[in-house]
Amino acid sequence: MSEILSAYGTEWLNLLVRWLHLVAGIAWIGASFYFVWLDNNIRPPKPGSDLEKAGVSGELWAIHGGGFYNPQKYLVAPKQLPQELHWFKWEAYATWLSGFALLLIVYHFNPSAMMIDRSVADLAPWQASAIGLGSLVVAWAVYDLLCRSPIGGRDAWFGIVIFIFLVASAYVLTKLLSGRAAYIHVGAMIGTIMVANVLMVIIPGQRKMVDAMRVGQSPDPVYGKRGKQRSVHNNYFTLPVVFIMISNHYAMTYNHAFNWLVLAAIMAAGVLIRHFFNLRHQGRTVWGYPAAGLLILLAVAVAIAPRPAGTSAGAAGGAAPDLAKVQAIVNLRCVACHSDRPTQPGFATAPAGVMLHTEALIRQHGARVYQQTVQLKAMPIGNLTGMTDDERAVIGAWYEAGAR
């Protein structure tokens, strides 16, 4: 009973932290998108105008929610420090803190089930956790060093190098962890880079600018330039990291034999699509970028499409097996998690609400069982229960023969 209550409590903790993470992420990404849009849409004041004399580099008039807004951006800083100054930081901090907590709850509290795939690497739970958490530290160290190196001032080359680094990281992680865990840790690496940009570069730079104004000095514009660069980097990271946040629902991507390459392609598509919108906000519409992004996604969809039906009967021994034989396999390999009362440690409820403890339920979810166990080989998760290829062939033959 205590084990059931513990798993149930973890389920609620998962729900509440995931909800917080989603809300905080919306706030952070929304602010990022808005300020990059604002930077790309402000217009310089008229020469000789009061705004230009005051040091305003651009302004914008907008209407929203029944009111008019007139945001202005200063070339370096206003002549006098405002009494009230809003800092955009807690959206980022709350997103990372909730995301890291969720990473621990879902993956590191149960690494044997959620991070280890014995067919990939036979790791101990502590080794899987160390690799996952260590990747976050390595990501920030490499990224920050690149930013401070000569290549950091060359945007295009920097983008290529950091992309290669993330793809290489994805390749290494998919050779050590389960595909699902590898993907989410690449996402956590990117998220860590993003929040560290805010915590270690953007906010400290802004504080130095404010401190200079408080003692009557002119702020050093280098802090503004450095913060703007990191903010733009974060903007381009958003679409790849949002995909990774939802990738655990799509085993067709993370469970593919070339899952690292699939992730690389989808991240590249996200960057191209984001670049299109950034250019469009500047008044430059280059349709080649979203077209290329969509073509990449289409190519990925075609490349990872499951093999056609009708190939399992021979592997299963000719005649299509009946439901009783399939149920025996499901009871042995799947029901520990997928039942009204799971017995697998760490699971209080059936994943995705899919229960398979009766013949009727196996028929009801037959297509899903076939997809996850035969086509994608994504279930059992991490192949915890040791489902064999012959057993998968039996399920395939049963489904392809009409799921009798």
Which are the contacts of 61, defined by CB distance < 8 A and separation ≥ 6? 68, 69, 70
Confidence of residue 345 (pLDDT cuts 50, 70, 90): confident
State the Cα–Cα distance between residues 318 and 404, nearest whole angstrom: 15
Residue 49: its pLDDT value, please?
Answer: 85
Comparing 186-190, 233-237, 346-350, 368-372, which segment has the lowest mean pLDDT? 346-350
Comparing 66-70, 151-155, 348-352, which segment has the lowest mean pLDDT? 348-352
Confidence of residue 373 (pLDDT cuts 50, 70, 90): confident
Confidence of residue 343 (pLDDT cuts 50, 70, 90): confident
| 36-57 tens-digit pLDDT | 888 888 888 888 887 877 788 8
| 60-87 tens-digit pLDDT | 898 988 899 888 888 777 878 888 888 8
| 313-329 tens-digit pLDDT | 555 556 778 888 998 89
Residue 254: its pLDDT value, please?
Answer: 93
As a whole-number percent, the residues of the chain with pLDDT over 70 amount to: 96
Residue in the structure block whose two tokens are 């490349």: 303
State the Cα–Cα distance between residues 210 and 217, nearest whole angstrom: 10
| 167-207 tens-digit pLDDT | 999 999 999 999 999 999 999 999 999 999 999 999 999 89
Residue 318: its pLDDT value, please?
Answer: 60
- Whether 404 shows a pLDDT value over 80: the answer reads no
What is the value of pTM for the model shown? 0.85
| Encoded tokens for 283 | 């008044």
Comparing 223-237, 249-263, 306-320, 370-384, which segment has the lowest mean pLDDT? 306-320
Residue in the structure block whose two tokens are 């009494």: 83
Are 135 and 173 in contact by the 8 Å Cβ rule? The answer is yes
State the Cα–Cα distance between residues 106 and 173, nearest whole angstrom: 17
Q: C-alpha distances in angstroms, 353 versus 18, 327, 365?
A: 17, 18, 11
Picking from 34, 87, 102, 88, the residue whose alpha carbon sits closest to that of residue 281 is 34
Confidence of residue 211 (pLDDT cuts 50, 70, 90): confident
Long-range contacts of 320-324 (CB under 8 A, 24+ apart): 320/397, 320/398, 320/400, 320/401, 320/402, 320/404, 321/394, 321/397, 321/398, 322/398, 322/404, 323/359, 323/362, 323/363, 323/398, 323/403, 323/404
Q: What is the mean pLDDT of residues 16-38?
A: 92
Q: What is the dihedral of CA 125, 127, 128, 131, to 10 degrees?
A: 160
State the Cα–Cα distance between residues 341 and 339, nearest whole angstrom: 5
Give the containing element (helix H, strand E) for 264.
Answer: helix 259-281
Residue in the structure block whose two tokens are 């408080």: 214
- Whether 3 shows a pLDDT value over 80: the answer reads no
State the Cα–Cα distance between residues 295 and 298, nearest whole angstrom: 5
Q: What is the mean pLDDT of residues 15-23?
A: 94
Q: What is the mean pLDDT of residues 364-382?
A: 85
Residue 1: its pLDDT value, please?
Answer: 46
| 89-142 tens-digit pLDDT | 899 999 999 999 999 999 999 898 889 998 899 999 999 999 999 999 999 999
Sequence-ordered alpha helix ranges (H) in 42-124: 50-53, 90-103, 111-114
Write the DSSP string, 297-347: HHHHHHHTPPPPSS-STTTTTSSPP-HHHHHHHHHHHTTTTSSSS--STT-
Q: Domain extents for the chain?
A: 86-303, 323-400
Write the DSSP string, 192-215: HHHHHIIIIIIHHHHHHHHHHHHT
Q: Is the bond preceding residue 380 a cis peptide, omega within 30 degrees? A: yes
Residue 316: its pLDDT value, please?
Answer: 52
Residue 268: its pLDDT value, please?
Answer: 97
Count CB atoms within 10 A of the CB of residue 279.
14
Confidence of residue 151 (pLDDT cuts 50, 70, 90): very high
- 69-87: b or e for each residue (b if 16 or more CB lie within 10 Å)? eeeeeeeebeeeeeeeeee
Residue 238: its pLDDT value, please?
Answer: 95
Mean model confidence pLDDT for the chain: 88
Q: What is the mean pLDDT of residues 243-249?
A: 93
Single-letter amino acid code for the residue at 55: G
Q: What is the mean pLDDT of residues 269-274?
A: 96
